[in-house]
A = this chain, B = another copy of it.
Amino acid sequence: MPVAPPQKTPLATQFDEWQARGFDANACPVRNVLDRIGDKWTSLLIVALAAKPRRFSELHRAVPDISKRMLTQSLRDLQRDGLVTRHVFPTKPPSVEYRLSPLGQSALGPLAGLIDWAERSFAEIKAARAAFDAGDTSEQMSAA
């Protein structure tokens, strides 16, 4: 059953499967895909492109604290993975537009789910971090 209802924990099954087939990094979608999603900028760029196609400098303005180098690289990565397409318009000064491919758009749903979770849990996570940093190591010495 490749597609299970995502409410129980199909992840556990998935994980066992991955383990069973030797855990080849090349065959592991988590390692391949989530690494990119979590690339610190790529997911933000996907979201930025969700609304509309944008040009390079537009993206740079939209995501202010990304450097041009990282913007270029992240866009290349997304392009390589087929999530965004790059369109060069031979206008007077050639302008470049990036837009989500259908594949990239298909990622918006799952990504939105995760972001929604992130927003809902953010307060709790911040509280946990504060508690942890305050020296509450939370190391329960449970009896066996």
Contact = CB atoms under 8 A, between A and B. Distances in A.
A43 interface: yes
A140 interface: yes
Given A43-B30, A51-B15, A128-B80, A110 B103 contact: no
B138 A86 contact: yes
Interface string A97-126: 000000100111111111111111110111
A106 B121 CA distance: 9
Contact of A119 (B2, B88, B90, B139): B2
Interface of A: 2-3, 6-7, 9-12, 14-16, 19, 23, 25, 29-40, 43-44, 46-48, 50-52, 62-65, 79-83, 85-91, 103, 106-122, 124-129, 131-133, 138-144
Q: Enumerate the 3 nearest inter-chain pairs by beta-carbon distance, A residue then B residue, closest first.
A: A38-B38, A82-B128, A12-B51
Given A11-B112, A91-B144, A114-B114, 13 more contacts: A7-B109, A9-B108, A12-B47, A14-B115, A16-B51, A23-B64, A34-B37, A81-B129, A86-B139, A90-B141, A109-B117, A110-B114, A113-B114
